Structure 1
Amino acid sequence: MPAGGRPTVRSRRLGTALRRYRETAGLDQPDAAEAITKSVSKISRMESGHTSASGLEVRTLLDLYGVEDADERTRLLEWARKSNERGWWIDYQATVRSSYMDHIALENEATHIRSWEPILVPGLLQTPEYSEAVIAIGPRHIPAQQVVELAKLRQERQRRIEEGGAWFTAIIWEPALAALRAAPHVREGQLTRLLDVGKRQNVTIQLLPAAASLLAGMSSSFSGFSFGAEANVEAVTLDGPAHTNVVEGPEDLAHYVNVFDQLRSAALPPDESAGRIRELLENGPQHKEVTA
């Protein structure tokens, strides 16, 4: 059973894939249960991610469903092998809500990450000082030591990008930077970090112009994740004040892909975005009213 009796990201994604392949093959749960000599309840719990699947069970089911693609078989078997593995982020479970752990798990597995942020600098690009400032003014009171721990967690998450483990594309609405109200050293440090990180081969940072307010209002912040060589979005997370939702339905994913593509098309190219960030760094904070 997944740790804590709760589906892990890997076990849930494996179960979703197995259910999709079963349905595509025109088979029902009793057919699958018979193939692995288990109960229908076992198949149901496997497909919901509440019960782990062994490598042998996954291979048997993939044979039954006619899944022959070697890369896909390898990927699903790897999910089965690691479904109960303890992630490094578990060390922070006392300070981070369980639903946000799913976001971190997806982030840690992804090969491509996309982020849309209309209000803040994305967590994967934040400096420790900026993180602490943002966390401290959140919707609920957080003790000072816990603020430091959460800021440390954000720095740990950034290793995925720093080590080149994933391609990261961030679109930020310009007012999030232009009206960044923080101590001068925090503001300057954050803008400088954006310029530095934007030079990495695996990082793309684009600013959506302030004038594009109607487009910016299409969606609140979200992150999209891809897990293979192709950049096909397989999961999206929406982070709210009280809960983080994971979106995996094909129609819902298509909606967020469309929104992100529209935002990216309207955003400044990376070199122009870097130039705009340099201007903001040189000219100081701006607090002008943004109009459509």
Structure 2
Amino acid sequence: MPAGGKSTVRSRRLGAALKRLRLNALLDQEHAAEAVACSTAKISRIESGAVSARVGDVRMLLDLYEVEDAEERKLLEKLARDSNKRGWWLDFETGRPMREVLGDFLSLESDATYIRTWQPVFVPGLLQTANYTRALTDVTPDVVDDEAADLVVRVRQERRRIFEENGARFAAVIWEPALTGPMASPSVHREQLAHLIKMSKQPNMTIQVLPHSEWAAARVSPAFVGLSYARETSPEVIILDALANCLILEEPEAMAGYVHAFDALRSAALTPSKSVSFIRKVMDSVTVENEEM
């Protein structure tokens, strides 16, 4: 059973994938139960994510379902192996519980191999400097004290580190006002823009600026993050921001609209090279000597 007696986001992803593969193979739960010598009730719990499947059982089920793709098998075996793995974010607890949905989001993000994000108001979280994040916490109603603000900054910087270490592909579309609008100070502003230019040079990174004039494209969707896994190019999970939390969408029928929205945004945005030139021009226009003392 997953740690704490509850399903985990990894056990649910594994269960959903195994159910999809079983149905594709035109087999029922009785066939699966016979293959791994267990009850149909256990297969049902595995497919719902209520219990974690053992790696050996996953291999037998994949053989039964005639799954030959080595990368897909490796991914599902890893999900089984990591279903009960302690989340890195739990090391950042400070006496206040971290929301369960945030833990789910961090788990999904850590496993992703391709991340897309559209941000009309802020710099995407994985591209934020520590000073930019701290400035945001100062005006966020949900962050009530310095301890909570420090936790937000440390968790977000650890997200950055893990993302850079994993080397996932990343594509961001950022609306122009998020970059040209006032920030906490000119020094924070310049530092953040310089970091975007630096990150844009990474081979796995694509950053595009949507011009202010493309207001129709900017209204195609609120901010969102799309996460893909293994060879799957289309998003398998969509994350929507809320004031004090986030909403996780995993239903396949919800994906199509966001795929269309991101394609429309990328088409309307400046090319990556023109976007870098634009960001550099904005950075050069921000003078630190004008910063208030």
Q: TM > 0.5 between the two? A: yes
In structure 1, the residue matched to 2:291 is none
Cα deviation, 1:34-66, whole Å, max 9, x if unaligned, reads 332323321222111120101222122222222
Could you tell me which runs of 5 or more consecutive residues in structure 1 were left unpaired when the two chains were aligned: 286-292
Counterpart in 2 of 1:288?
none
Map of 2:39 onto structure 1: 39
Secondary structure of the residue aligned to 1:201 is coil
Aligned to 1:289: none
* 4+ aligned runs moved over 4 Å, structure 1: none
Indicate the SS of the match to 2:213: coil
Q: CA deviation at 1:187?
A: 1.3
| Alpha-carbon shift at residue 29 of structure 1 (Å) | 2.5
Q: Which moved more, 1:263-272 or 1:184-193?
A: 184-193
What is the CA distance between 1:161 and its match in structure 2? 3.9
Of residues 46-55 and 3-12 in structure 1, the stretch that sits farther from structure 2 once superposed is 3-12
| 8 A contact 2:172–2:206 mirrored in 1 | yes
Please state how far the C-alpha of 1:32 moved relative to its aligned partner: 2.3
Closer, same or farther: CA 88–19 of 1 in aligned 2, 3 Å: same
1:187 & 1:150 partners in 2: Cα distance?
19
Partners in 2 of 1:244 and 1:281 — Cα distance? 31
**Structure 1 residues 201-216: aligned runs within 5 Å:** 201-216=203-218
Q: Percent identity?
A: 48
Instruction: Specify the code of the residue in structure 1 equivalent to 2:249.
Output: V
Q: Deviations over 1:197-216 (max 9, x none)?
A: 11222211110111111211
| Equivalent of 2:112 in 110, 113, 129 | 110
Which residue identity is paired with 2:53?
A: A
Counterpart secondary structure, 2:149: helix
Q: Hey, what does 2:133 align to over in structure 1?
A: 131
Alignment deviations for residues 124-155 of structure 1 (CA, whole Å, 9 cap, x no partner):
11111110111221232421122012101111
Instruction: Name the residue aligned to 2:21.
Output: 21
The letter of the residue matching 2:65 is Y
Q: Find the counterpart in structure 1 of residue 226 from structure 2.
A: 224
SS of the residue aligned with 1:158?
Answer: helix
Change (3 A) 1:214 1:79: same
CA distance in 2, matches of 1:220, 1:63: 42
Whole-angstrom CA distance in 2 between matches of 1:17 and 1:198: 34
* Partner Cα separation in structure 2 for residue 80 and residue 284 of structure 1: 49
1:161–1:202 CA contact under 8 A, matched in 2: no
Q: Cα–Cα, structure 1 residues 228 and 141, in superposed 2: closer, same or farther, change >3 Å?
A: closer
Choose from 266, 269, 278 the match for 1:267: 269
Q: TM-score, length-normalised on structure 1? A: 0.90
Q: Deviations over 1:232-279 (max 9, x none)?
A: 322221221243222222221222111111111111011111121122
Q: Shift of residue 95 of structure 1?
A: 5.4
Alpha-carbon distance change, 39 to 244 in structure 1, aligned in 2, over 3 angstroms = farther
Q: Which amino acid aligns with 1:196?
A: K
In 2: Cα distance, 1:90 partner to 1:145 partner: 16
Counterparts of 2:164 and 2:63 in 1: how far apart (Å)?
39
Unaligned residue ranges in structure 2 (runs of 5+)? 288-293
Distance 1:233 1:140 in 2: 29
Provide closer, same or farther for how the CA distance between residues 66 and 162 of structure 1 changes in structure 2, counting only shifts above 3 A. closer
The one-letter amino acid paired with 1:81 is R
**CA distance in structure 2 between the partners assigned to 1:97 and 1:118 by the alignment:** 25
AA at the equivalent of 2:49: G
- RMSD of aligned alpha carbons: 1.9
Change (3 A) 1:48 1:136: farther
Q: Does 1:165 align with 2:175?
A: no
Aligned residue for 2:171, secondary structure, equals strand
Structure 1 window deviating more from structure 2 (134-143 vs 11-20): it is 134-143
- C-alpha distance in 2, partners of 1:136/1:5? 37
Residue 81 (structure 2) aligns with: 81
Contact 1:160–1:166 (8 Å) recurs in 2: no
For residue 189 of structure 1, what is the amino acid of its counterpart? E
Please give the alpha-carbon distance, in whole angstroms, between the structure 2 residues aligned to 1:140 and 1:256.
Answer: 28
Provide TM-score, normalisation by structure 2: 0.90
> What is the match of residue 178 of structure 1?
180
Aligned pairs, number:
285
